[in-house]
Structure 1
Amino acid sequence: MVSSEFAMILVMTLAGVVFTLPTLIIPSLFAPKRRNPIKLQTFEAGQPPTGESRIHLIMQYYSYLIMFVIFDVTVMFLFAWGLAFTNIGIQSLVSLLPFLAVLLCPMAYALHLAGRRENW
């Protein structure tokens, strides 16, 4: 017999498929089939496209982007850990420290990149 936990996972998966597939299929049935060259043009905030579409990406803020992503993930997990700290106790700190150690390496690399002058 199937356990109740597995049955709930199966029901939720089937519900996800049942509600997702119609949203993918129905628009393709009612969408216009003819291609319009005007609609295939690149859209640039209501203006006709001008200039070269491929430009050199400035890496000036790349290190700050890395720091933001790392900091965002860290704060998300620390916030959840802080809310549950009274219930789970000090033992959870043991599992949190390796997580912080893993995130410290890319943060140190991002700080190193931020200090380099070649990015500017």
Structure 2
Amino acid sequence: MAEVTVGATHHVAADYFDGYSVVGLVAVVGVLFVAVAFGAGQLLRPTAPTPEKLLTYECGVDPVGEDWAHTQIRYYVYAFLYVIFAIDAIYLFPWATVFAADGFGGTTLVEMFVFIGFLAVGLLYAWKKGVLEWT
């Protein structure tokens, strides 16, 4: 009886590591694909560097002034807020599937309102601090 348990445990462990081997194989194939693509691009592209081609190019305008420029923080704040709310919106889809299941309706609804409440408090805080004002 003990041998059957050991054999079953060994079989489960083998299946467990088979899943990781598939993920590892896909990762290796992906890295090789990217390496071959970059290598082929390096070998097949025409190269004719001239001083004009080696200049820094930005939006068709020759760079003028120092190499260091200050960027307004509000661009990063808007990007950060977008990422936060985009990721939070992703959490709404699994919630909708669980909400439709039997026996999870009331509890799931309360949990989601708490989640959305935290988002609303964060958004109100950002609004009160003036973060969302562009000028």
> Percent sequence identity over matched residues?
25
Higher RCO (CA-CA < 8 Å; seq separation 6+): 1
The alpha carbon displacement at 1:33 in A equals: 5.7
**More helix by proportion, 1 or 2?**
2
Q: Which of these residues, 86, 107, 113, is aligned with residue 72 of structure 1?
A: 86
Structure 1: which 5+ runs fail to align? Answer: none
Q: Which of these residues, 39, 45, 51, is aligned with residue 37 of structure 1?
A: 51
* TM-score, length of structure 1 as denominator length: 0.59
Query: How far apart, in 1, do the equivalents of 2:46 and 2:94 lie?
Result: 47
* TM-score, length of structure 2 as denominator length: 0.54
2:25 is equivalent to residue 11 of structure 1: yes
Equivalenced residue count is: 116
Q: Which of these residues, 25, 29, 33, is aligned with residue 39 of structure 2?
A: 25
> Who wins on radius of gyration, i.e. which is larger?
2
Distance 1:38 1:63, change over 3 A: same
Where 1:114 maps in the other structure, the secondary structure is coil
Distance 1:26 1:67, change over 3 A: same
Structure 2: which 5+ runs fail to align? Answer: 1-10
